[in-house]
Structure 1
């Protein structure tokens, strides 16, 4: 299966090292979220993968080959890096037809991707009249045009309304389910939590985390346990007496640190206390991400 392999990738602009010795793999059959603060080097990395920027050191390959050596790149990798990169005077259909012709693709592919991206109804409108959300859909259509096995999307849901965001999420999941390698960057943590199978987090051009999404959020809960009981007050006293740290939560729940779920269950049973819920606390992706990148944020404001 085709995948993206990045090895020791480094890029400098003058005295600044924007991408610093990155190594990671984007596997086929899953959505890989590419996360990091503004200025972390995500877009520069994506540009190097598709040959729009030359690395100072290291390699980025697609299916074992550099982008520049692919005979018909659009059939190997589709990318949306800038939704504004379209001639405003062309209609959506003509823009895609021009891409198809230059890559030796059949015109029928244009109608296929217009339909899949919900653009068929506006195919004869000029791209210059489109909203940002419509330009995003057109850019996604262009990325899908060659039916590639690898797809790269940089902030693809910018400008999309809630329906469009859900559509984009479902599309990414469907593309991965078809066996494609999908790399997508986004600042919307709630969307990444629902979309990505694997996460690569970078800060100041370096890898901070390269892990399955479930492990990142699961490990960020600090080992806490959420407990709901028929008599939460008594349970809280018993847990505190046993050395646990107990905080009150929503819906009469307790958040317990310092004891495992098994230990809490045994203590409750010993004292004859009925439990309604006993589950590990999973931090949100946003919480885990902010904790990881706290030292890598370039610009930090102060709340009033």
Structure 2
């Protein structure tokens, strides 16, 4: 597992990571979320020893990264898909990593197969698309069959098939008992991939919770309602304290009132409902609400 305790990092007067603590458990995918500039990449860099914390600790299996005898068999990390010599073939890149970590050649063939890169093993990495470099980086993380895996934005540059492949891979790695930490800005993917979420803003912890718990605690979603006399029932809903707006195909979208309460109100007024559909808060909506005070830059719609 990964344990982060009181982690703090400053660059000059700016505190990038501020007294951050969380745990990444084995057997699950932990999503690492936050707005741009929240400190996610810096935290990941400190976990694998690429940046030194000003205070606090980050350990892997109870040890600092620098104390791991053969790091690649303990933890695999993909922080920058472009960190590969463009003149090397995919095979040679992986083989060099394997040799330097005392790993057998067969591991290169195994990870090329698992990442679907067998057909391009002899091609130079400099000619790869960003998506193919992502796959090569993921293959490198798997070389030592580590129990801990860290991925920073692994779906960047991937097409829909590739994104789905990464999702399935993350789930399969967790099912094998590995601890998987993955950052992403694609909330729809995190909703389908992650078991647990760590959300930070301005370097500080905002939430450490299950996906379902985050969406539940950030309120019920709207309720789609259809009735024959839409205008009249909208007035009755508003009088009862609900917020009502027009929806698609002559529906009403009601917030601030549960589906059960809407049903009771309809029964009281003798209104026949043809639809009463609760809309659960999405992870994206919950995330935006949770981090609205931590966004560094925001634009105004025209």
Does the alignment reach a TM-score above 0.5?
yes
* Structure 2 counterpart of 1:83: 81
* Structure 2 counterpart of 1:284: 282
State the 4+ residue runs in structure 1 displaced beyond 6 angstroms: none
Cα shift at 1:274: 4.3
Which one of the candidate residues 34, 58, 69 is aligned to 1:60? 58
* Structure 1 counterpart of 2:225: 228
CA contact (8 A) 1:224 1:255 kept: no
Alpha-carbon distance in structure 2 between the residues aligned to 1:124 and 1:33: 34
CA contact (8 A) 2:224 2:279 kept: no
* Structure 1 counterpart of 2:10: 12
CA contact (8 A) 2:72 2:146 kept: yes
Partner SS for 1:22: strand
* Structure 2 counterpart of 1:161: 159
**Change over 3 Å in CA distance of 1:61–1:245 after alignment to 2:** same
* Structure 1 counterpart of 2:36: 38
Over aligned residue pairs, what C-alpha RMSD do you find? 2.0
> Could you list the per-position Cα deviations for residues 251-296 of structure 1 after superposition, in whole angstroms to 9, with x for gaps in the alignment?
4433323433222233334555444543433233222222222222
Alpha-carbon distance in structure 1 between the residues aligned to 2:114 and 2:271: 55
* Structure 2 counterpart of 1:198: 196
Cα shift at 1:91: 1.0
**Change over 3 Å in CA distance of 1:239–1:302 after alignment to 2:** closer
* Structure 2 counterpart of 1:295: 293
- Superposition pairs for residues 60-209 of structure 1, below 5 Å? 60-209=58-207
Alpha-carbon distance in structure 2 between the residues aligned to 1:19 and 1:224: 32
Alpha-carbon distance in structure 2 between the residues aligned to 1:275 and 1:77: 56
Q: How many residues align?
A: 301
Cα shift at 1:207: 1.1
Which one of the candidate residues 178, 203, 214 is aligned to 2:212? 214
Cα shift at 1:9: 0.3
Cα shift at 1:224: 4.5
Partner SS for 2:5: strand
**Change over 3 Å in CA distance of 1:205–1:241 after alignment to 2:** closer
Partner SS for 1:17: strand
CA contact (8 A) 2:33 2:197 kept: yes
Partner SS for 2:276: strand
CA contact (8 A) 2:88 2:124 kept: yes
CA contact (8 A) 1:232 1:254 kept: no
* Structure 1 counterpart of 2:258: 260
> Could you list the per-position Cα deviations for residues 12-43 of structure 1 after superposition, in whole angstroms to 9, with x for gaps in the alignment?
12222111100011112221111122221111
CA contact (8 A) 1:49 1:60 kept: yes
Alpha-carbon distance in structure 1 between the residues aligned to 2:37 and 2:241: 44
Alpha-carbon distance in structure 2 between the residues aligned to 1:96 and 1:170: 22
Alpha-carbon distance in structure 1 between the residues aligned to 2:22 and 2:86: 36
